[in-house]
A and B are shown apart, each in its own frame.
Chain A
Amino acid sequence: MTTQRPHHLVPATLSMTAVAIALLAFSDRVADPIRAQLRDGLCPGLTALDSAVDSIRGAVSEWSGEPTRNGVAKERPPADRSGPALQQLRAANARLTERLANNAQAGTFPYRGSSSSPLVLTELVEARVLGRETAAAWRGGWLLNRGGRQGIEESALVVSDDAPLLDVGRDAKLEPGFAVFAGRTVVGRIRAVGRWSSTLEPLTAAGFRGHAQLIRKTSAGYAFGATGVIEGADQGGCKLKMIASAEPVSVGDGVYTLSNGGDFPFPMYYGRVIAAMLHPTATHWDIDVEPAAQDLRLRVVQVLRKRLDPRRVDPGSAGPRAAGATVRLDPPKRP
């Protein structure tokens, strides 16, 4: 007795195998467009799922009497016990110390300059976390509900959506925006952008790299220290590299984005140094950083985007504003 084999099985298997191998061979070129299309296609379903989960959580919290924020159960606090307020204060303190030192060194300029609006505006676009990429033995990226249509670009940094915690401003000679946004926790950066969605590469992912700067405590307050490169270590932690052995480093130092010339107009918080080793013959420190964002349960994040000020580029028109809730960051005015 013989079993009849299904028709067209071998040609179908061979052709589909050929397609799969071709995709593998040209993965570098075709992966991003295919993934972007798929993510955009899944966006409505993920948004519906997100709303359903929020509704169920809200109902459960209401039933159990647990306090909620906007219907969503409050996220766990960051692993860093110092908390966002202290991170922000450290950044503010270091920045003021730097300006004080600069003023003392250079003196007061005899002529007074007039301030003008900056050419490049920095904005934070609020984005909702919709899901996660699957990964084999490592962490995949998060899917966000904002994409190219909202002006999101690849490699843009992403910060956590901590509520403004500081209530100091004019009395402390701080400019608008600085106290609120400085010291926010960096969550990662945008890896790929679709039309309506994008993916967030976590700070701890193997491919993550960014400029970083130490903030350490001195007798005159907090001060900016050496600059280096922070890299994801893929095991839930980060490494701080390119810090010369001559630079002072100690456990507990804060690691921030660059205060000047970086992606942000203000330093944002990566995490803190948990181990620093210097081998006798080494020219650079071997530093382990505990990311502040590693234990956050992300639901809403904010993506930094930059755009030219339409009033400077074309004074006649204000220019179209992309959709999405945005907050403008005014850089500190130069004296």
Chain B
Amino acid sequence: MKHVCLAMLTYAAAVVQAGSPLFVPDGETTLHVLPAVLVLSLFLWDGWQAVVWAGIVGLVSDGLRSTAIGSDMLCAVLLAGLIVHLHPRRREFSMLVNLPVSGGLVFVFLLVSRGLSAVLSRRTVVAGELLSDVAVDASHTLIAGLIGLLCFNAVVSLLPGRRRRALRS
């Protein structure tokens, strides 16, 4: 059940990320929603499933880019492995307690992924611009993630008790 929900969320996030320039007012901004799904996968599973899902989300994120494929997947897998290893009791705390961790994770993911893309495509990036862009995108991701979490909880609350317990276990 959790896998189906996360697969649907990943699809919806990919659609929103690719289609966002069409509905944002300036016509340029891309809402990076996929990192929010990556964070969510870390709070849904304790072990290897989180890493596998991080890889899938990273691969989808790679597919939406115009640079070398595999860079986002690599960042996502390594970060997920690190978080699962260093923060094994994260699921015992509420999302609000974990918000700084989530924010930091999204920021680091976007920063490393963009830095790696720039290195792979041999492009020069200005560190200040990169940091500010990543900070803005990370804040968008967090807001989108919180909205997604509220929607997710709303959907879960509508499910029958047995399925709800299965989803939250």
Residue ranges of A at the interface with B (Cβ–Cβ < 8 Å):
3-13, 16-17, 19-25, 27, 30-31, 34-35, 38-39, 42, 45-46, 48-50, 53, 129-138, 140-141, 143, 199, 297, 299
Contact = CB atoms under 8 A, between A and B. Distances in A.
Given A24-B70, A140-B65, A13 B51 contact: yes
B18 A6 contact: no
Main secondary structure on A side of the interface with B: helix
Interface stretch (B100-108, B117-125, B142-150, B158-166): B117-125
A11 B47 CA distance: 11
A20 B58 contact: yes
Interface in B1-59: 11-12, 14-23, 27, 30, 32, 46-48, 51-52, 54-55, 58-59
Contacts of A38: 14, 60, 63-64
Given A20-B73, A21-B70, A133 B64 contact: yes
Contacts of B114: 136-137
B63 A35 contact: yes
Given A27-B68, A38-B60, A133-B18, A8 B48 contact: yes
Contacts of A10: 81
Contacts of A35: 63, 69
Main secondary structure on B side of the interface with A: helix
A41 to B, nearest CB: 8
A12 B85 contact: no
7 contacts: A12-B81, A34-B69, A45-B15, A49-B15, A132-B22, A133-B18, A137-B123
B51 A12 contact: yes
A4 B46 CA distance: 11
Given A7-B47, A135-B65, A17 B15 contact: no
B35 to A, nearest CB: 11
Given A5-B88, A16-B52, A135 B67 contact: yes
B74 A20 contact: yes
A131 B12 contact: no
B138 interface: no
